[in-house]
Amino acid sequence: MTADELEKYLKLIALVQQGFNALLPFLARLKSQGLETTEQILDHAEKANNEAKAIIDSL
């Protein structure tokens, strides 16, 4: 393997790692959704949407 190829693979690994880190909260949430009722999921969605609004407002 050439140094150039190795660098490309390292960049790819870093990218995959970043992607997984970004997706971890989603995956954790998907797991807990399985144990909740539809109303509870909707309540959580509303709460998360309001939390998102607060972060967006602070931009």
Partner 1 sequence: MLKQNKKKITALLLVSVMFLAACDPNKTRQLAKAEDNIAEAQKALATFLKDGVASGIISDAIVKNTFKPILLVVNSTNAEAITITRDWLTTGETPDKQSQLLLVIKKLGDEIVKLNNAGMLHIKDPAKRALFTGLVVALQGTIASVIIIVVKKG
Measured from the CB atom, is 3 or 25 closer to partner 1? 25
CB 33 within 8 A of CB 41: yes
Q: What residue type is 59 in one-letter code?
A: L
The Cα 29–Cα 26 span in angstroms is 5
Q: Does 35 bind partner 1 (CB under 8 A)?
A: no
The Cα 29–Cα 39 span in angstroms is 15
Q: Does 10 bind partner 1 (CB under 8 A)?
A: no
Binding residues (CB under 8 A) for partner 1: these are 8, 11-12, 14-16, 18-19, 22-23, 25-26, 29-30, 33, 38-39, 41-42, 44-46, 48-49, 51-53, 55-56, 58-59
